[in-house]
Amino acid sequence: MADGIKDKVAILGMGCSKFGERWDCSAEELILESFTECIEDAGIEKKDIQAAYFGTHIDEINVGKGGNPLGETLHLPYIPVTRTENYCATATEALRAACYAVAAGAYDIVLALGVEKLKDTGYGGLPGGASFGTEMFLRGSNATAPGLFAQLATAYAAKYDMSMDKIKEAIAHVSEKSHANGALNPKAHLRRAVSADQIKAAPMIAYPLGLFDCCGVSDGSAAAIVTTPEIARKVKQNQGLVTVKALQIAVSSGEEEAYTNWDGAHFVTTRRAATKAYEEAGIKNPREEISMMDVHDCFSITEFVTMEDLHISPKGGAYEDVMNGFFDLDGHVPCQIDGGLKCFGHPIGASGLRMVYAMYEQLLERVPAERRVKRLKYGLTHNLGGTPARNVAAIAIVGRE
């Protein structure tokens, strides 16, 4: 009987490039930047890597299809390299594949790496409709990402009889918190604190989402090398390990779009994936056991409703938690501890691994005191790719051995 991934895989090393408008770098150079940090952290040689999984989303404008771009850029020793792609969960898919390969006993040491180079395209946002994909979607009404996600706010307000003024107040605090955290992180794309008043006064993009409620797109890369706990202990010589506790993905079935029983105020996939992840990790009370999170804040309202979908806030209770500072850096469950998509950045193919990198650095107590999380038990990451009505949600939970 399957019993999941918990503690079968250890993270031997991780690396992350600086995110941002990296005009000075090609995608290949970003790959090298994250991989160099990763393999130095792992304490192994390139010849020790037995397989690799390579995450990249929009191949037409990035490094192309297949696994060759990774193998050739890093001069990997003729090992299997497999490209993964699953919208914004692309890098989490690379990590999941690498972890499953180790847990299955197929390989001892495996690389997962994600990269995306988006800023050289000339587009202000994502190029064309590449991230969502169908003719039906592209021709639909409000077929912009801000327009689609803004509808979460009106649906949530209607469901819980909450005024839009309260929604705007809460999501302004969500963005203010992320900017404050991003300002402390030298690898983040946006590093300037912004007040709630500035956020609420910003130009409107899609009501109630203003400019500061929307994440931008970035260039960047992140990487992880995973192995068995037994091998990791030998390599690290009892320095302390971070192990994988859960990896879960849920994909929309079509019911949200096709039927009327979805309220439009939550993500079915996130709720399903989170429930399975907690079961896999042995977590009974996520509100108390989860120490920190990085979630998919493509828009501030997405983060707001995700707090409930992850079973951290009670249904209808996200407003109170957000406004009470529950998710602030010094709160009970800090969220977007490195600035999140909003401020660290969102190169689609790298974001999932970047989030895990943030958890990993905290769990090993490598971050400066000014941005260190107080409780260190479990770190959770959450990706969401697609639209509110058709999407993929990915959850990773990591913790100390």
In order of start, what are the domains of the chain with their CATH numbers?
A: 10-125+219-242 (3.40.47.10), 143-212+244-400 (3.40.47.10)
- Which uninterrupted H or E stretch holds 271? helix 268-281
- The amino acid present at 63, given as its one-letter code, is V
Q: What is the pLDDT of residue 134?
A: 46
DSSP structure string for 232-286: HHHHHTSS--EEEEEEEEEE--SHHHH-S---SSS-HHHHHHHHHHHHHHT-S-H
pLDDT averaged per 10 residues in sequence order, the chain, 401 residues: 92 98 94 98 98 92 90 97 97 98 98 92 60 48 82 97 97 98 96 95 96 94 98 91 98 90 96 98 98 98 98 98 98 98 96 98 96 95 95 97 87
How many other β-carbons are positioned within 10 Å of the β-carbon of residue 163? 9
Output the six-digit token pair for 54.
Answer: 């390579």
Nearby residues of 124 by Cβ (< 8 Å), 6 or more positions away: none
Contact assessment for residue 179 and residue 213, using Cβ atoms and an 8 Å cutoff: no
How many other β-carbons are positioned within 10 Å of the β-carbon of residue 251? 18
- The amino acid present at 201, given as its one-letter code, is A
Q: Own/partner pairs for 312-317, CB < 8 Å, 24+ apart?
A: 312/286, 312/287, 313/287, 316/159, 316/160
pTM of the model: 0.96
